[in-house]
Amino acid sequence: MADLQLRSLHRDDLDRVSGIESRITGHSRKGFLEKRFAAAAETPDGFIACAAARDGKLAGYAFARIQEGEFGAPDAVAVLDVIGIDPDVQGTGIGKAVLAELERRMKARGIGTLRTQVDWGTPAMIRFFSSTAFLLAPVQVLERDTSPLREEIREAGSAGADARSRMRAGGDYHGTLSRDRVPARSLREDDLAAVVRIDRKLTGRDRSAYYAAKLREMLTESGIRVSLGAEEDGFVVGFVMARVDFGEFGKVDTAAILDTIGVHPGFAGSGIGHALLSQLFLNLATLQVDTVLTQVSPENIGLQRFLYSCGFHPSQRLMLSKTVS
C-alpha cells in the first residue's frame, strides 16, 4: 500500500466517483453525488470526505455526514453513508485504508463515534464492516411506506370516554383527520425560535445551532421541502423534520429520513404528532417517495409506541457503530 495516496475528496473527482458508483450499483447516482459534493463544499464542517488514489487515479472514497442532535443524540457523530472502491482493485485493502483515513480525520475534529447502516441482505458489506471493528449499535431502524396514516378520529365536538370514534385512512369516507383539524405547513427560516423553544421544553437543552443547521440543510441541500410545522392560533406548537435522500447508504430507491419530531408539552395528546406525520406521508407520496426511515433508542419506549402506532415497523437495515479512539 506504499503507493497509495490518501487525500481529501475534491469536486473534480465527481465524474470518477460517479463512474465507480455506477459500476458498483448498476445505477447512476450522479444527481445525488452532485448534491453531496456541493453540500460538502458549501458546509465543510458538516462532512468528512476522503479519497485514495493509486498512480494518480482515484481508487476509493468515503463520505461521512456529521450529525449533531439527530434522533436525540447528545453528541456529534459521523455517519458513513457513501463508501466505494473501484471494482478492479477491491480486496486489496483500499477500503480499510480509506476508512482509517476517515477515522484519523474524525479524531482530529474530536468526534469519537462512527456509524453506518447496512442491509441485512448484503453479506459482503456486513463482512467488511465486521472486519473493521464495527458492532451492532443500540439503535433500532424503523421504516414505513408512505401510504395514508390510519388513525382514530373522534367526532367533532365530542369529549370524554363515551365519545364515538372510528378508523379512517386518508379520506376514504366522511370524517375529520388530524391533519384537517391541525394546520401543518412547510417550516420556514423564521420558525427557528419556535422550534428551539419547543425542543428546550422537551430536552432541557439549548440546541439552537443544531436546528439552525437543520433548517439551512432543509432549504438548500435537499432541494425539496418536506419538513413541517403545526400551528394553533398562529403559533407553532409542533414540528417534524425530514429530508429526501436519493441514494444514501447505497439505496437506489427514493427514501425520506425522519430525524426530528417535537410537540410542545402543553399540547401532548392532542393529535398534533399524528397530524404532522399524516401530512408528511401525504406530501412524500405526492413526490413519489416510497419509504420513510427513522431511528429510535430501545429505552425510548414512548417514542417507539408512537411510531408503531403510526405504522412503522423494524427495518431490514442494521445500524452499526464504532468507537474511534
Report pLDDT for 92. Answer: 92
Phi/psi-derived region of residue 69, left when phi > 0, alpha when psi is between -120 and 50, beta in every other case: left
Contact 290, 253 (CB under 8 A): yes
Given a contact cutoff of 8 angstroms between Cβ atoms, the answer to whether 50 and 98 are in contact is yes
Helix, strand, or coil (residue 45): helix
Distance of CA 192 to the CA centre of its chain: 19
pLDDT of 245: 65
pLDDT tens digit at each of 325 positions of the chain: 668 999 999 999 999 999 999 998 888 788 888 888 988 888 888 899 999 999 889 999 999 988 875 555 557 889 998 999 999 999 999 999 999 999 999 999 999 999 999 999 999 999 999 999 999 998 899 999 999 987 654 433 333 333 233 333 444 333 445 666 788 898 888 899 999 999 999 888 888 887 887 777 766 555 566 899 999 888 999 999 988 865 555 443 578 889 889 999 999 888 899 999 999 999 999 888 899 999 998 888 888 999 999 999 999 999 999 999 8
pTM value is 0.75
CB-based contacts of 18, cutoff 8 Å, min separation 6: 28, 29, 30, 33
Comparing CA positions, the residue from 289, 262, 279, 294 lying closest to residue 186 is 279
How much is the pLDDT for 160? Answer: 33
